[in-house]
Structure 1
């Protein structure tokens, strides 16, 4: 049976480490009292001074019954914390308990009053904010989080001309022209398939007065209704639907987009596509989606099963490798990265992060270009399934590391430290981000000053994508919401890159190139070399004990605490 001193109650105080003099107390050792039991003891024994651990105090403050308890007898609460940043806990407890609260820490091997730690933190914050390149700052424990100011954008030498010249030697102009024509035919087949799908769902003629109600009445899945409404806009813009009173009517006879006619169109297109590209996976995928459009629209068929039948990735791999536009992109990315690596200092290992590697089409093009340099290459995807698949496919490059990274989440929350990478590669993944500018800011924070982002993206609507992969895309939270567009256009990409803080922001293919009309582009963008670095901020602070993170945002205190924990114990990179 334990006994409690009436004047002083000790909860979870580490034995033998008492930095102050108190009345006699009973050491409860490793006992952890539940908040309800602790409150009952406090009300019954009515101690003037309470000593407890930070964790116990936090649980007490979170306990719903605390405001209903009579703790007016409390004069002082003392607690011990391993975290120097818990002076915030002391302030919170003082407000809730209406008494003096004092915390102590021995995180650095010396007992310190958390109030003095708070003053020290304030001095560090003020000194950090005194740096002209710091926009905002906060501290959590021994970690200082700072948001750098955006640098003035300046022209840069991006070496794209050399890559353009090299690729011009690799593709015959006639072959590229035929590829563009086939892509246009693929788009037209997809538009006719949209008409067919609308007809099968009873949406032709389509009402104009209340489209949302019409889609709901037709059984269109709620998550797909914005996409189908977008179809109606596109079909009007392409002259396949026309307004007549309160309805949209087809401009073509129904025989043009009947099941039988479409089967003939897709069969002929598949043969021509295979002759131009050497493969048929893309057309088979587009055709299967066209056949299943009514089921996809109603949500009876999951689009992911058409892209990954029985969990296989061959079809998805063909999608990102097969077309001449995809081949051009991969070779452009590989050539540019190989030339970039050759320009770097000899003997200095390069750090390269690939995000959204997916089926590995970009990865397999890039790795041979880095075979003769010292490089730490981390290949990531949002899915551990894809990451494991990539590890199997890339066994010929055992020096490649594999991991998981989500472009929709803050990098620090995933254990990725800021300013750790010389180059980031992203092949066709950023369009899947919920907020592209937010994701670009995340990637910029990961790059070292002077580092590069190289990525490929569509910059115009692709009708066949609107009738296939669009069923899998998340609803965007950025400017794409305004137009329900699937992709940003070229100008929007350049604006988004500049807003995030990148400079350069040029792309291939150049205007006038046969593939330019397709809108598939390779971008190169640089972090300004003059952007504030961790080393420069450390020199300014003259405080080597601090961990520094130059983040793109400062979230709430709880989230910062999680980030600080990742930095301390789980540095994945």
Structure 2
């Protein structure tokens, strides 16, 4: 629609414009430099001016505005693409000493921004009066509402069906061998820590002024917290003992020599390959053990060992190879497929996968979902654009799969993601990388619809070989893990974190009596309560067309809220 004073007055008032308008300039289709625009305004002396918001902003920023004579101006109208801009209108009114009103084209008609803002402010007040709302804030046409927590209720998570299916799929004798091999791998990793400490001159190890001692030994600043944790773990495992203010090894030096470690890896490799069908994990752990002194000093980047020459084959094997990993992927895939089959048919089920990485979990879940025979919209994401782009070709034969980037450490709205948009979120072995587990869980909780599910797999006990390899790549946690010598939350800590967030259910596999239980690799399922306030219920209560509603996990400072309001949520649409 053409932007003109007459058009605007007709659409706003509903009547034909007056024939005898005061002197007017319509700048709706013209772009003039601020200096020339001011000259035209002084020459023509209009009483009414129409311009777009960009012209107004440029004019207000022009230093020569204060020197211009615009005393003839009575009304300034500006057009904006979105509601809001109240502060801009007030600033312009003070600068021009006239009436300033903004308009936007919304719901097929022109609407005054100030009246629209007032209506939306009333909606914010009505939202705050809702018994299920704990906080609300308005920015333009976006209303942010934080719902009250819901009391958890009993929920049927259908995990027992998945557990029975997994018991039929995997050989118990092979699983028992996998546990023994994992213990051997853990012992070899602990001995490699002794080797690294010795090569860096840290045996006997200090108990006083540990940070200073590590610095004096040349341990890199980013590696000191990890190496200090090694000392705690080696004590707990009985490989270091305290004598005065130092820690001494309890095993002979020849057990952690490079030659002894090479023999241990050579013995472990064929048994591991026979059990799992691959050797990537042992190759990776061995290469890290050889490089530990350089890794500890920060002379070598750990990422190059996981992705040699930028290749992803080793990382892919690492997340697929062990029987514990195979159990996790198959259990997640079985549960997700059964969940999809139980849903009522209608709109496509919306599934978000976070931290897809090399696609180990995705590779198991997508074929299972395809067999469920339901309409799907599956958004596969990772924090790395490289991984997200690589996945496009792998999933080309599933037209209902989309790809994108998502960072579990950042609020969803900051990334342009719509709250309460997903029926299910899948996270395979990624949540342990979160800096703050509670904050990340709250972000995922806000993304799910009421009744939506989170299914994820995680280690729940220390992995010593990870402490001597991948841990060099992990950032220092900002949650309860920073207070203890642990890379991962344990089972009780995960259950507590899920409950604090508001999830209900919170059971996991395998059961305590399962052969793989000692390894601590678990699959969790948790649900957002159905009674949680939904966008649809709140919209029906407010009856405010044109108002966009978001339900984040918290309300940030106003500047951040404005940033969230300005971001488009179009990337969440199929």
Supply the distance in 2 between the matched residues of 1:153 and 1:22 (Cα, whole angstroms).
Answer: 65
Whole-Å separation in 2 of the counterparts to 1:229 and 1:448: 42
Deviations 1:319-364 (A, max 9, x none): 1111111111111111111211221113542211111111111111
Distance 1:284 1:206 in 2: 29
- Give me the whole-angstrom Cα distance separating, in 2, the residues matched to 1:264 and 1:425: 40
For the residue of structure 1 that corresponds to 2:351, the secondary structure is: strand
Q: Per-residue deviation at 1:544?
A: 2.5
Partner of 1:6: none
2:416 match: 415
What displacement does 1:60 show?
8.4
In structure 1, how many angstroms separate the alpha carbons of the residues matched to 2:324 and 2:569? Answer: 44
Instruction: Report deviation, 1:236.
Output: 1.3
Displacement of 1:176 in angstroms is: 1.5
Q: Please give the secondary structure, in 1, of the residue aligned with 2:526.
A: strand
1:104 and 2:102 are equivalent in the alignment: yes
* 2-structure distance, mates of 1:111, 1:79: 12
State the partner residue of 2:150: 151
Which residue number corresponds to residue 376 of structure 1? 377
C-alpha deviation, 1:187, in angstroms: 0.8
Q: Report the CA distance between 1:113 and its aligned residue.
A: 5.1
Q: What pairs with 1:59-458 in structure 2 (closer than 5 Å)?
A: 80-82=78-80, 83-90=82-89, 102-108=100-106, 114-372=113-371, 373-374=373-374, 375-458=376-459
Q: Distance in 1 between matches of 2:49 and 2:223?
A: 58
**Is residue 233–residue 485 contact of structure 2 (8 Å, CA) maintained in 1?**
no
Q: Is the 8 A contact 1:90 1:101 kept in 2?
A: no
Q: Distance in 2 between matches of 1:61 and 1:251?
A: 76
Secondary structure (helix, strand or coil) at the match of 1:510 reads: coil
Q: CA deviation at 1:398?
A: 4.0
Q: Secondary structure at the match of 2:458?
A: strand
1:504-528 deviations in whole A, cap 9, x for unaligned? Answer: 0100011121111111000000111
Aligned to 1:3: none
CA contact (8 A) 1:87 1:103 kept: no
1:61-108 Cα distance to aligned partner (Å, 9 max, x none): 899x99xx999x99999573513221144467789x798884422333
Measure the CA separation in 1 of the matches of 2:300 and 2:50.
Answer: 61
Task: Report the CA distance between 1:202 and its aligned residue.
Answer: 1.4
Structure 1 136/336 Cα, relative in aligned 2: closer, same or farther at 3 Å? same
Q: Which runs of 5 or more residues in structure 2 are unaligned?
A: 10-16, 42-46
Instruction: Quote the offset at 1:23 in angstroms.
Output: 7.9
- Relative to structure 1, the CA distance from residue 389 to residue 84 in structure 2 (aligned partners, 3 Å threshold; closer, same or farther) is closer
2:492 & 2:556 partners in 1: Cα distance? 30
How many residue pairs get aligned? The number is 554
Distance across 1 between alignment mates of 2:450 and 2:377: 18
TM-score, normalising length: structure 1:
0.87
CA RMSD of aligned residues (A): 3.4
Distance 1:303 1:572, change over 3 A: farther
- Note closer, same or farther for the CA distance 1:56–1:229 as it changes in structure 2 (3 Å cut): farther
Give yes or no for contact 2:133–2:147 (8 Å, CA) kept in 1: yes
State the TM-score, normalized to the length of structure 2: 0.87
- Tell me how far apart the structure 2 counterparts of residues 552 and 216 of structure 1 sit (CA, whole Å): 40
Contact 1:416 1:572 in 2 (8 A): no
Deviation at 1:27, TM superposition (A): 6.7
In the TM superposition, what whole-angstrom CA distance separates every residue of 1:481-505 from its partner, at most 9, and x where no partner exists? 2225211111111111111111001
Matches within 5 A, 1:467-482: 467-482=468-483
- 8 A Cα contact 2:117 2:141, kept in partner: no
SS at match of 2:444: helix
Q: Does 1:550 align with 2:551?
A: yes
Relative distance call for 1:570 and 1:161 in structure 2 (3 A) is closer
1:6-53 Cα distance to aligned partner (Å, 9 max, x none): xxxxxxx9887887988888979523549xx999xx9xxxxx999986
Cα deviation code 1:423-448 (max 9, x no counterpart): 11110011111111111111111111
Residues 569/325 of structure 1: CA separation in 2 closer, same or farther (3 Å cut)? closer
Q: Contact 2:27/2:51 (CA < 8 Å) preserved in 1?
A: no
Distance 1:122 1:215, change over 3 A: same
**Aligned match of 2:13:** none
Measure the CA separation in 2 of the matches of 1:115 and 1:210.
63
What secondary structure sits across from 1:397 in the alignment? coil
Structure 1 pair 182–171 and aligned structure 2 pair: CA distance change class (3 A): same
The answer (yes or no) to whether the contact 2:333–2:364 under 8 Å persists in 1 is yes
| Residues 447 and 241 of structure 1, relative CA distance in 2, 3 Å threshold | same
* Structure 2 counterpart SS, 1:544: coil
**Which secondary structure state, in structure 2, belongs to the residue aligned with residue 30 of structure 1?**
coil
Classify the secondary structure of the residue corresponding to 1:326: helix
Aligned match of 2:44: none
> How far apart are 1:222 and its partner, in Å?
1.1
Contact in 2 for aligned 1:270/1:283 (Cα 8 Å): yes
